[in-house]
A and B are shown apart, each in its own frame.
Chain A
């Protein structure tokens, strides 16, 4: 999120009662205590069933009926179209143009935050799904039959979404950091290209198939939606136990790569101006020495560090899985790797909240005041009389930001531990073996917690 400076916290931390690294120790102790509490008091799986409670037929009809679906789809298409238009026609100043804040803050951060509470909120507003479904309905009306689709390769799974997620973040934080910046026009053009690609894939493989596996935003936001309390089944809206829908999310190949991509890209973005800064600069200097142009050197060094983050996060997870294999009765490595991938979803969310929540709070003030009144940033429009408003940076104190970051990281990792413990009880019906297997996941969780806090402390400090 480099189009505004100091995205993670807009003031240095002040007056912490203890050094920041002591919070990492405290968080680790919380995790260890949680681990033993789970071992002592949680001896049968509780999340493997959704425990759904269907909501009333009336509210299901209202919220899931065709008129609502059409309305949500139209809103989604309109907002995407308007964001593209504002990017192409509006000011080049990124902080005065509706497009960047809307796509990279309101949508990119807002959908994960709220979907993690309420369930997948992106699905009804997904503009590409709406267009694809409308096109499919049109085809059926004209041709009298459903459009034929190519069978989606099972082994490909969610890998297109994982690679797409890396590409989206790369475009934003690496390409956009290459000297010229990431302008609203760049974003609009990228959105158009992505729209064409997505619609082509939907035409080839089917709308729902592509949304489930390949469409970056559907997969990414849907992943967080699995933590939420509402879902749909057979056309009925239902309330379910929080986090329980996450247990089946990773069954599709490549899902682990998606959640690892999420954690690693957030880590990279958090660290590129802090913990990784010296390393990136060192690599940048080497590329310059080899005669590579400055912009290309900057992008190359950023790309390498981003891929290193992806590899490092993946390696930590795989080491945890490998450790579980040493416990008697362990399933295959492949099964464990898939079976525990969903436990990383709360961690991905915790990283997002920790790194971006203050940025989200500040930028949403801009979104719903001057960016809404003057979306093109021309200075000549004031639709709602709020074009002259500003962002109140005192709304959150530096200490408050830090405490929310620490709390988010701890909560996310404790939930991750809980999900991992629950899954272990399925693979190892003897709770002692299940607990022994989770020593390794405890190490993974402690590592991610300390790493996250380190990134934040350096970025904030």
Chain B
């Protein structure tokens, strides 16, 4: 059983976690609204196939292709 007498000690967590929750919440909200917009558009589908961005050909040695 966790020591409940120290509940106040743990409660301070909330103040430190709040900025993280706000940022994560904003990201999720943005992600969900983007998904909805994509689903609603007639084109729909997978963005990845339309995207000009492709995996960099500079591979295992890092994006710049340099050895460490």
The chain A residues found within 8 Å of chain B, CB to CB, are 19, 21, 24-25, 28, 32, 45, 48-49, 212, 247-252, 278-279, 282, 323, 326, 328-332, 335, 338-339, 423, 426-430, 433, 439-440, 442-443, 446-447, 450-451, 453-454, 457-458
Task: Name A's interface SS.
Answer: helix
| Among B53, B56, B62, contact of A250 (Cβ-Cβ < 8 Å) | B62
Chain B residues whose CB sits within 8 angstroms of the CB of A331 once the complex forms: 55-56
Contact in complex: B63, A339 (CB < 8 Å) = yes
| Among B6, B15, B23, B53, contact of A433 (Cβ-Cβ < 8 Å) | B53
Chain B residues whose CB sits within 8 angstroms of the CB of A329 once the complex forms: 47-48, 51-54
Q: Tell me whether B2 is interfacial, beta carbon within 8 Å.
A: yes
B29-68: which have CB < 8 Å to A? 30-31, 47-48, 50-56, 58-64, 66-68
If A426-B64, A442-B23 touch, whether A21 touches B16 (CB-CB below 8 Å) is yes
| Among A339, A440, A446, A454, contact of B13 (Cβ-Cβ < 8 Å) | A454
Contact in complex: B15, A21 (CB < 8 Å) = yes
Contact in complex: A323, B9 (CB < 8 Å) = no
Least CB distance from A32 to B in Å reads: 7
B38 nearest CB neighbor, chain A only: A328
Least CB distance from A372 to B in Å reads: 37
Contact in complex: B9, A278 (CB < 8 Å) = yes
Contact in complex: A248, B20 (CB < 8 Å) = no
Least CB distance from A31 to B in Å reads: 8
CA distance A163 to B33 in the complex (A): 42
Contact in complex: B55, A332 (CB < 8 Å) = yes
16 contacts between A and B (CB under 8 A): A24-B16, A48-B64, A248-B62, A248-B67, A251-B62, A251-B68, A278-B3, A328-B48, A330-B48, A427-B63, A428-B53, A439-B30, A443-B20, A446-B23, A454-B13, A457-B12
A22 nearest CB neighbor, chain B only: B15
| Among A247, A332, A430, A450, contact of B16 (Cβ-Cβ < 8 Å) | A450
Contact in complex: A339, B62 (CB < 8 Å) = yes
Contact in complex: B53, A248 (CB < 8 Å) = no
| Among A247, A332, A443, A453, contact of B64 (Cβ-Cβ < 8 Å) | A247
Residue among A329, A339, A430, A451 facing the most chain B CB atoms (10 A cut-off): A329
Chain A residues whose CB sits within 8 angstroms of the CB of B22 once the complex forms: 28
Chain A residues whose CB sits within 8 angstroms of the CB of B62 once the complex forms: 247-248, 250-251, 338-339
Give me 8 other A-B pairs in contact (C-beta within 8 A), A251-B68, A453-B16, A454-B13 excluded. A25-B19, A28-B19, A248-B67, A251-B60, A252-B68, A328-B51, A423-B63, A427-B55
